[in-house]
Structure 1
Amino acid sequence: MNNFNNQLKRSLTNRHIQLIAIGGAIGTGLFMGSGKTISLAGPSILLVYTIIGFILFFVMRAMGELLLSNLNYKSFVDFTTDLLGPMAGFFMGWTYWFCWIVTGCADLIAISGYVEYLFPNMIAPWIPALTCIILFLCLNLLTVKLFGETEFWFAIVKIIAIIFLIAIGILFIFNYFKSPSGVTASLSNIWNDGGFFPTGFTGFVAGFQIAAFAFVGVELVGTTAAETKNPEKTLPKAINAIPIRVILFYVLSLAIIMSVMPWRTIDPDKSPFIVLFSFTGITSAFSITYFVVLTSAASSANSGIFSTSRMLYGLSLSKKAPIFFRKLSKASVPSYGLTFSCICLLPSVLILYFGNENIMYAFTLVTSAATLLFIFIWSMILISYISFRKRKPELHRRSNYKVPGGLISIYLSLLFFLFLIIAFWFKEDTKQAIIFTPLWFVLLRICYFIIPKKIKKQWNSYF
């Protein structure tokens, strides 16, 4: 029997949170998008990933300080509402929900493509997408702990794959392995073909456009705050490890790839991870790597379903969404929100069922739009922190988890996001996303306008 009195249970342990954080830091974009980013920026892509990673570390630190300043905050939407006002919270919550719906559709389309490769002409492309929606709905309906376990093992697969790739690459370098193109593996391959910035400043900037999507989901740990055991210890530990993870999973792995395969030989339409594994000579390596990439996309889709349901639950509690989304099952899971979010993922199934020769263009457009929307989310977290410092200085002084560099780090991060948006304008597919994405905010403004004033007044008193 559903009820309104139950609350989300703190069932996620430190083990779950650490792996959820790692899973969020290792996106599908790393496995599948790194070939395109390398072709655009060359070796300077290592600097691109490093810069984005450290900027998002400041975003996460700001989010961590805010969440821990008031444990009544269940997610970043709550502190945005409290610090910037009800309209900001309304825009933040529904935009984050939409971000993951768009990303989830893209992941499901990618999953179907991976299955098609593993089992060519055996399974209709819409079947894997629909199966994943049903499977993830069932898994998430049971208990939040089961979600944590699922993400734990998804993340383990990604971690093992990347560590294995690094080990194989180091072995190739020390044994002077020759690639099929006849080039000997060496660290010098990173810089001996045009230097560190072979495509110039424009190529370097172009790398940011695609690389940013690889980090989508890094903020996911912020939606687990209400279901985390001992958040004062668990959240800081997960956030503080982000720089190390960026260096290990992004910078080191891509440096190894470009040492074994000179950057000009990397096909932008193929995953360099898959190609490098095929060099091992293990017959099944190609298929195994595709399976790893498939689990990465599945992990992203599963995380999206989780986060959208929790976002709807939080929005409903503060009366920014219909009241039935706050209903919980006996397992203290927001079942109505889960079901609604899964229904909203069905357009991906329809696209795959009817087919469309422009699917890849649409895929690029929606992922670019998702990245722009996530930039909005990250920026709102930073702006909320600025307001926090002005309105609640006593809480900041008492904080044991202050942002490194203080407000200087925050303002520099906001300038970087402005730079990203400008960079998006200079590439045709991402430019289309900038043109169409504002329509979402127009729709939200219309929805906000028609909400009765008496409900809006209650938003201010929620905290």
Structure 2
Amino acid sequence: MENERKHSFQRKMQARHLVMLSLGGVIGTGLFLSSGYTIQQAGPFGTILSYLIGALVVYLVMLCLGELSVHMPETGAFHSYAAKYIGPGTGFTVAWLYWLTWTVALGSEFTAAGLLMQRWFPSISVWIWSALFAALIFFLNILTVKFFAESEFWFASVKVVAIVLFIILGGAAIIGVLPMAGSETAPLFSNFTSAGLFPNGAFAIIMTMLAVNFAFSGTELIGIAAGETVNPEKTIPKAIRTTLWRLIIFFVGTIVVLASLLPFSEAGVLESPFVAVLDTIGVPYAADIMNFVILTAILSAANSGLYASSRMLWSLSDKNTISPVFAKMTKKGIPLNAVVFSMLGGGLALFSSIIAPDTVYLVLVSISGLAVVVVWMSIAASQFLFRRQYIREGNSVEDLGYRTPLYPLVPIASFILCLASCIGIAFDPAQRVALYCGIPFIVICYAGYYISQGLKKRGAEYVEQNQSN
């Protein structure tokens, strides 16, 4: 066991791997399937505005994470930063919140992948496909970090190429270069103003912004992978800049195309707005193409999710806050026990989504939904406190490999905007359950940490007393 503890992570990830890892965690079914509903809720113009504001929030948080990750490139990054600069109880809680977020996602993604395969193989049970995909993702995560990074790069590349082609084809249809079924003239942007700029009022935009914050979750995976990255002082800032502008182009570009080519009133009732647009343009086998792209997106997100959750468990174990068994590493730098436990957690989430979707699974989904925003708040607070301590210890800001600009405005603004999202949840009956479930879970994590530490301290004192006697 001691030999296994001595093995360390291998710095094999390049900037391109980091970028695709982050995009893989962000671009998923929320964009491909739920974007039509978002347009119907806030209107075309309101949805674009919401995504731009959401992108600003993510950008501010990533500026904070960049400084921390370059100065302290650790695996399980923001849990470590929160423990060091906010408090050990906060670090412990942030880690479990983030672990739960991705573990719950694993369960739903394996189910969704199995359901998508029914289109082509209706006679094969969903659970068989779910099990096969789970085995594939597990296999990709237990070889080497370079193999994992390459697999995620190509998984994510498929959906990135699909989105770029969709925006190009949609743009051509908008200006009339490609003819559309049932339309003699170029639609341009007539759908944007057909029902007014804010058809359901400004409050609908605020509600959409809450969902948009969750849609951008996954960008912070760059920080998780900091400990396995080549030249983090150069790679991480580059990955953050590249990821953010790509996300803005992909999300906003996609929404512009969808809002221009789909009637506002119909956008929310379509199973997949992408298929509807491609059918209208006349792309053959549109439904099959999008089925494949969405399947790839789901597997990419699952791949990223298992990686993130296993590294969080390793980090907790490495800090001696949970059993040391999860800190054991293979010779190739893989925390195998942490990967296995996270996969088991995903299996339990999958089981609860089938057996108790309205009780246990609803609670898990609600906690994981709130968790991402809480994690972002911890990143902003950690950077604020880190910089203050760094200067107090007599260090020069000029010596930092990467500096968060406009300090302390950026961490304060990002913290307040994230907090506003959490408060906004209380005014939405559909999302309020996240607070009812999430706050008690946070309290339980804090209590669990301090109780366990108290017991450890008493145990150590008892051993010390017996030895002295």
| TM-score, normalised with respect to structure 1 | 0.91
Residue of structure 2 in register with 1:404 after alignment: 405
Equivalence for 1:279: 280
Q: Which one of 386, 389, 401 corresponds to residue 388 of structure 1? A: 386
Counterpart residue type for residue 213 of structure 1: F
Deviation of 1:278 (Å)? 2.4
| In 1, Cα distance between equivalents of 2:120 and 2:443 | 42
Counterpart position of 2:367: 369
2:432 partner SS = helix
Residue number in structure 2 paired with 1:26: 27
Cα distance change of structure 1 residues 401 and 185 upon mapping to structure 2, 3 Å threshold:
farther
AA aligned opposite 2:381: I
- Measure how far apart 1:6 and its partner are: 0.7
Partner of 1:253: 254
Whole-angstrom distance in 1 between the partners of 2:457 and 2:176: 67
| Matched residue, 1:194 | 195
Please give the alpha-carbon distance, in whole angstroms, between the structure 2 residues aligned to 1:380 and 1:76.
8
Q: CA RMSD in A?
A: 2.5
Cα offset, 1:151, TM superposition? 0.8
**1:428 partner SS:** coil
Partner of 1:79: 81
Q: Which residue of 2 aligns with 1:93?
A: 95
Query: Is 1:133–1:345's contact at 8 Å kept on the other side of the alignment?
Result: no
Task: Give the direction of change, closer, same or farther, for the CA distance of 1:41–1:213 in structure 2 (3 Å limit).
Answer: same
Post-superposition offset of 1:228: 0.4
Partner of 1:418: 419
Aligned residues of 2:306 and 2:339 also touching (Cα < 8 A) = yes
> What one-letter code is carried by the residue in structure 2 that aligns with 1:244?
W
Counterpart of 1:93, as a letter, is A
Matched residue count: 453
Q: 2:63 aligns with which of 61, 64, 67?
A: 61
Q: Residues 178, 203 of structure 1: CA spacing in aligned structure 2 closer, same or farther, 3 A cutoff? A: farther
Separation in 2 of the partners of 1:113 and 1:456? Answer: 50
CA-to-aligned-CA distance 1:42-75 (integer Å, 9 cap, x gap) = 1110111111112111111101101212345751
Task: Please name the residue that 1:430 is paired with.
Answer: 431
- Residue 187 of structure 1 and its aligned partner are, at CA, apart by 3.1
Larger radius of gyration: 2
2:19–2:243 Cα contact (<8 Å) kept: no
**Aligned residue in 1 for 2:313:** 312
Segment of structure 1 superposing worse, 270-279 or 372-381? 270-279
1:3 alignment partner, SS class = helix
When structure 1 is superposed on structure 2, of 262-271 and 59-68 the one drifting more is 262-271
1:111 corresponds to which of 89, 101, 113: 113
1:315-345 Cα shifts (integer Å, max 9, x gaps): 1111012101111112210000000000111
Per-residue displacement from partner, 1:163-184 (whole Å, max 9, x unpaired)? 1101111221232767567585
CA distance in 2, matches of 1:351, 1:299: 22
CA distance in 2, matches of 1:249, 1:417: 22
Secondary structure, aligned partner of 2:5: coil
Identity of aligned residues (%): 31
Please tell me the residue identity of whatever aligns with 1:76.
Answer: F
Partner SS, residue 412 of structure 1? helix
User: C-alpha deviations, 1:81-120, integer Å up to 9, x for none?
Assistant: 2111211211121221111112222222322332233433
Confirm or deny: 8 A CA contact 2:60 2:414 kept in the other structure. Answer: yes
Q: Greater shift after overlay, 335-344 or 73-82?
A: 73-82
- Verify the 8 A CA contact 1:326 1:334 in the aligned structure 2: yes
Note if contact 2:326-2:335 (Cα within 8 Å) is conserved in structure 1: yes
1:318-337 to 2 correspondence within 5 Å? 318-337=319-338
Unpaired segments ≥5 residues, structure 2: 459-469
CA distance in 1: counterparts of 2:434 and 2:130, whole angstroms: 24
Aligned partner of residue 4 in structure 2, secondary structure:
coil
Q: CA contact under 8 A between 1:327 and 1:334: conserved in structure 2?
A: yes
Residue 245 of structure 1 and its aligned partner are, at CA, apart by: 1.2
Quick check: 2:18–2:239 contact (8 Å CA) kept in 1?
yes
1:20 positional shift: 1.5
The 3 A distance-change label for structure 1 pair 231 and 366 is same
In the aligned structure 2, how far is the partner of 1:70 from the partner of 1:395? 16
Residue 267 of structure 1: SS of its match in structure 2? helix
Structure 2 counterpart of 1:314, which letter? S
Query: CA 1:179/1:330 → structure 2, altered by over 3 Å: closer, same or farther?
Result: same
> Structure 1 residues 205, 183: closer, same or farther in 2, change over 3 A?
farther
Q: Secondary structure at the match of 1:406?
A: coil
C-alpha change, 1:85 and 1:355, in structure 2 (3 Å) is closer
Shift in Å, 1:365: 6.3
CA contact (8 A) 1:130 1:349 kept: no
Per-residue displacement from partner, 1:228-269 (whole Å, max 9, x unpaired)?
Answer: 011111100010123421331011111012112232221345
Give me the whole-angstrom Cα distance separating, in 2, the residues matched to 1:337 and 1:301: 16
The one-character-per-residue Cα deviations of 1:209-235 (angstroms, maximum 9, x if unpaired) are 322221121101111011101111110
Tell me: CA distance 1:363–1:183, structure 2 relative to 1, closer, same or farther (3 Å): farther
Residues 144 and 334 in structure 2, CA contact (< 8 A), matched pair in contact too: yes
Aligned AA (2:300) = S
1:46 alignment partner, one of 39, 45, 48: 48
Distance (whole Å) between structure 2 residues aligned to residue 348 and residue 185 of structure 1:
47
Q: Residues 107-256 of structure 1: matches in 2 within 5 Å? A: 107-120=109-122, 122-175=123-176, 184-256=185-257
- Residue matched to 2:463: none
Aligned to 2:294: 293
Instruction: Give the aligned partner of residue 104 of structure 2.
Output: 102
Change (3 A) 1:453 1:53: same
Structure 1: runs of 5+ lacking an equivalent: 458-463
Kept in 2: contact 1:189–1:262 (CA 8 A): no
TM-score (ref. length: structure 2): 0.90
SS in 2 for 1:288: helix
Q: Which amino acid aligns with 2:227?
A: A
Q: Which stretch shows the higher mean deviation, 443-452 or 9-18?
A: 443-452
In structure 2, give the amino acid aligned to 1:285: A
User: What's the offset of the Cα at 1:441?
Assistant: 1.5
Distance 1:367 1:37, change over 3 A: farther
Matched position secondary structure for 1:129: helix
**Letter matched to residue 111 of structure 2:** I
Change over 3 Å in CA distance of 1:445–1:453 after alignment to 2: same
Aligned equivalents of 1:188, 1:94: Cα separation in 2 = 45
In the alignment, the residues of structure 2 paired with residue 290 and residue 362 of structure 1 have an alpha-carbon distance, to the nearest angstrom, of: 29
**Are the aligned partners of 2:366 and 2:437 in contact in 1 as well (CA < 8 Å)?**
no
Query: Residue 216 of structure 1 aligns to a residue in which SS?
Result: coil
Query: Which stretch shows the higher mean deviation, 335-344 or 409-418?
Result: 409-418
CA contact (8 A) 1:28 1:214 kept: no
Change (3 A) 1:118 1:238: same
